[in-house]
Amino acid sequence: MPAFRVGILGATGAVGQKFIRLLQDHPWFTITALGASERSAGQAFREATVWREPSFLSDQVASMVVRACVPEEFDDVDFVFSGLDSGVAGEVEPAFAAAGISVISNAKNFRMHPDVPLVIPEVNPSHLDWVKRQNWSGEGAVDENSAKKKGFIVTNPNCVAIPLTMSLKPLYDAFGVKQVTVTSMQAISGAGYPGVPSMDIMGNLIPYIPDEESKIIEEPLKMLGVPAGSGNEFPIYPTAVRVPVLEGHTLAMVVELDRGGVTEEMVRAAMTDYVSPVADEDLPSTVDPAIIVHTDPFSPRPRQHADQASGMATHVGRIRCTETVQGTIVSYITMAHNTIRGAAGAAILNAELLASKGYFGV
């Protein structure tokens, strides 16, 4: 694999810093440019922000001069990662794509756009092909021959939607899904920095996270190929709660299956035996197995397990089945690292698959 030069938009924020940490030693991608707000532009990265990640910041990155988030400042990169706030991503990302610089984005703005792939490589890699339908420059649809020269936008889902969809996919394929109820107990890191005041969350929980539940309802359906309005979609009833945990969103799931007679062993087998459609691609950020099924009933726990497998696994535990006349009800816990598997790591894995498939040229 040739080396790709990458830029990071929103580099000074919480997601941006996570991108930097994960990319500092990446085998394929080299950080070449950092973009942030006008206020930070022109300063060395180490002057423009306080480094909050747990690992060391390399001098090479620390001394990079931050650039404004405009395409003309990024003509030396092969593509960019976007950790931009949704307040600016809506303008900045299309501008980059129109200028021929593809954007691998963690922002929410274009996730539900019909031509923008919302992808978890282990779930719906074929959706990446939709980038051919994109036309940000207005010069006409990207055809197969020219695709590699035009810029596109690819997104990853919300940090809750990822473990929800990852753990649901094997059940959806094997047994069909009629309805999902989920309580997501979400780590404070999901709110960025400074984020949640300690006065609010210490010894407490907060039963509401603005703008979160609508994403949990919509995004899984798009990824499973049954978007709202398709006629085959199923309802998801989410409650998003903030809890005093540092990293790792934990979801209590109750899934009504299409069919009955499904046992705990069958659910466990479906998850354990699930074969990622990109297992053969040998992507650097892939972990095997993608879903770790715990048999200890006290697991998974975010503090102990979120960091395992480089923070890229989806954990499942406490599988329980109840038989009803309408079908089997499956309850389980799922948990994933919200800022790695659920954000920066998800975007990097998307970029690895795109690189592997030749979408970035070469």
Active-site residue set? 159, 249
321 is a contact residue toward a second copy (CB under 8 A): no
What track of x and - describes contact with a second copy for positions 97 through 136 (by CB under 8 A)? Answer: ----------------------------------------
Q: How far is the CB of 155 from a second copy (least distance, A)?
A: 25
CB-wise, 124 or 338, nearer to a second copy? 338
| Rounded Cα distance, 271 and 71, in Å | 42
303 is a contact residue toward a second copy (CB under 8 A): yes
Q: How far is the CB of 183 from a second copy (least distance, A)?
A: 4
Q: Is the peptide bond before 71 cis (omega within 30 degrees of 0)?
A: no
How far apart, in Å, are the Cα atoms of 5 and each of 26, 139, 156? 11, 26, 20
CB-wise, 164 or 333, nearer to a second copy? 333
The b-or-e profile of 108-130 (16+ CB within 10 A means b, else e) is: bbbbbeeebbbbbbbbbbebbeb
Strand partners, 82: 9, 105
Residues 6 or more apart from 121 whose CB is under 8 A from it? Answer: 276, 277, 278, 281, 283, 286, 349, 350, 352, 353
Q: How far is the CB of 2 from a second copy (least distance, A)?
A: 33
Q: Determine which residue in the list 6, 33, 118, 185 makes contact with a second copy, applying CB under 8 A.
A: 185
307 is a contact residue toward a second copy (CB under 8 A): yes
Length reported for the chain = 362
Q: Determine which residue in the list 66, 142, 196, 216 makes contact with a second copy, applying CB under 8 A.
A: 196
What track of x and - describes contact with a second copy for positions 280 through 299 (by CB under 8 A)? Answer: -----------------xxx
* DSSP code string of 30-64: EEEEEEE-TTTTTSBHHHHS---SSSPPPHHHHTP
CB-wise, 290 or 355, nearer to a second copy? 290
Angle among Cα 285, 353, 345 to the nearest 5 degrees reads 40
Q: To the nearest 10°, report the CA torsion of 58, 61, 65, 68.
A: -140
203 is a contact residue toward a second copy (CB under 8 A): yes
| Rounded Cα distance, 314 and 297, in Å | 16
Helix (H) or strand (E) holding 118, with range, is none
CB-wise, 67 or 337, nearer to a second copy? 337
Query: What residues between 228 and 267 interact with a second copy by CB under 8 A?
Result: 235, 237, 239, 241, 243-246, 250, 252, 254
Query: What residues between 207 and 226 interact with a second copy by CB under 8 A?
Result: 207-208, 210
Q: How far is the CB of 128 from a second copy (least distance, A)?
A: 32
Amino acid at 73: E
Query: What residues between 55 and 94 interact with a second copy by CB under 8 A?
Result: 56
Q: Which residues bind a second copy (CB under 8 A)?
A: 52, 54, 56, 181, 183, 185, 188-189, 193-208, 210, 235, 237, 239, 241, 243-246, 250, 252, 254, 297-304, 307-308, 317-318, 322, 324, 329, 331, 333, 335
